Structure 1
């Protein structure tokens, strides 16, 4: 029996769509990140019960941190983007978290920079607040050790391929690193939106992109580039096709980052069928109904989609590009040739 809803909600489901194709489905994945981080801060004495924790969020991390604060008796303040919808706003309010949303921005970079700047202002006024720094503090990786242990225990012996959104770097990167440390042969494929600086696509915009959580407009220190074997850049239309295709084929209603990961996984699996493929479904599809799933009739069939294989970031183009990455992103060599 669980003593708090956060402990129950965080547990993922492993769903085998095919013997070698598995969906790691979360209701909201970042609860693992938030719970592990808050627990570590309390255990080390960095914060005490009753303190206020603050961070920036475009959506699911806000809910995760609010639940973690509720679980451990902390106060929570979120500086949110305009993508925080009414459903989440009401939940945060009832949970006791405070939310302030920044003004709409023309692009992701301005939105993230505005939120970070606002946090700096709040910290200057309230020096006792603790900034969680989900994008930069490695404590957000700790919670995923339990997930990696579950995967190692429940998946068949043999090589694995892990596919998911890069985001802050705490989820896919940590899972792969923990599994490799346990002795598993793991390839890691990261999914990015166009316009993200994390793997150098900031020069290619996607005006329809509403999957900001898997990319970034500022550098994230939690991303360990050398952990990723391949990178896929997927635009909104392809992500929607993947999400619709997954719902039709597997009955799994998940967000756009999951759609992008599913699409990517099917392509990687066709290239190399020697591994068990695990793709991450980080959240459900509910917050994407009006802006994405309602357009399902216009989504291309995923079987008609194919990525552009690139050797230089200058070759990046819509709707979908990919490259081998691991080992290329090292000091003095930031990735595919510029």
Structure 2
């Protein structure tokens, strides 16, 4: 069968629900946002002849991009190998296995680049062992950001003008792709990237990152820093609290990357009441029922009572790590114009 014959299940889950969260704030709530690039990358590769009937698909991931690939390759009847690390949670492992995915776990981080680098090396070995293979390479494949044109089109159909987009940054695909498409359509949207301390994406040193799906240890090629007007860094405790607020206040059961983006968005929207704001909420909360949505888990980590924060601390140097919510006016500049040196890049 053709690729298109198996597209219906994921196609039905692609576009987000657009939900009003405040007078000028709207949430773009996805079931699984990573389905957008996974589906587009695989379909485009198949159209180009890069994926044939016996082609193995292999990628490195520790989160929702892997699930999106597993869903799509199951429908395409293609074999999938995912290279990950010990942070891959048991519930996700079970779902991936049920979809027929083979999982390779890297137990030891590399001295430079941590688990991200060790996973890339293991991925190279998998690809070398399978001559008929395809790697989506979400961090460097330009088909990742370009896939989000449909999100920008959807937002403008529903809302008309969009003045500001707030969203988490990992590979750079969703924010860069959505904002560039909006600006190409004539909307000069203000772009706010949401990161976390210990991530190299916007100038900080590589360090421990508890939050997954947010930030990175290596620099993705798909991250275009010139898209962003400002950057915010959110800590785990603040993010967990905001995730629960999103659920209690709006009955939106989303994951912690959504919570981090919501924390920033409600502050910025309130401070800019004349701007129509959209916050990207990437995935639902079912993976986090035993963590973020468990009061005992939060209490055990000492993050059940984070201090109330009404606004971020503004920093003058993005390399300065503050272990509370902070922001920096990036000003649509390249990385080299703001920070130095450029970290190692994801291949």
- TM-score, shorter chain, exceeding 0.5: yes
Within 2, Cα distance between the matches of 1:49 and 1:151? Answer: 36
TM-score, length-normalised on structure 1? 0.90
Residue 66 of structure 2 is aligned with which of 44, 62, 65? Answer: 62
Match of 1:231 in 2: 231
Partners of 1:164 and 1:190 within 8 A in 2: yes
Q: 2:45 aligned with 1:41, yes or no?
A: yes
Residue 188 of structure 2 is aligned with which of 185, 188, 193? Answer: 185
Match of 2:3 in 1: none
Partners of 1:164 and 1:279 within 8 A in 2: yes
Within 2, Cα distance between the matches of 1:314 and 1:139? Answer: 30
Match of 1:113 in 2: 117
Partners of 1:254 and 1:281 within 8 A in 2: yes
Gaps of 5+ in 2: 1-5, 343-347
Partners of 1:21 and 1:277 within 8 A in 2: yes
Give the alignment's Cα RMSD to 1 decimal. Answer: 2.4
Match of 1:87 in 2: 91
Runs (4+) of structure 1 moved beyond 6 Å?
A: none
Shift of 1:307: 1.4
Gaps of 5+ in 1: none
Q: 2:201 aligned with 1:198, yes or no?
A: yes
Match of 1:263 in 2: 263
Q: 2:320 aligned with 1:315, yes or no?
A: yes
Residue 311 of structure 2 is aligned with which of 306, 312, 316? Answer: 306
The 10-residue stretch of structure 1 (111-120 or 86-95) with the greater mean CA deviation from structure 2: 86-95
Partners of 2:201 and 2:216 within 8 A in 1: yes
Between structures 1 and 2, the one with greater strand share:
1
Number of equivalences: 332
Within 1, Cα distance between the matches of 2:236 and 2:273? Answer: 27
Shift of 1:249: 0.9
Partners of 1:245 and 1:301 within 8 A in 2: no
Partners of 1:312 and 1:337 within 8 A in 2: no
Partners of 1:109 and 1:216 within 8 A in 2: no
Within 1, Cα distance between the matches of 2:145 and 2:307? Answer: 32
Within 1, Cα distance between the matches of 2:171 and 2:74? Answer: 23
Partners of 2:224 and 2:334 within 8 A in 1: no
Within 1, Cα distance between the matches of 2:18 and 2:84? Answer: 31
Within 2, Cα distance between the matches of 1:218 and 1:315? Answer: 18
Structure-to-structure mapping, 1:204-223, within 5 angstroms: 205=207, 207=208, 209-223=209-223
Partners of 1:311 and 1:336 within 8 A in 2: no
Shift of 1:283: 0.8
Q: Of the two structures, which has the highest relative contact order with CA contacts closer than 8 Å and spacing of 6 or more? A: 2
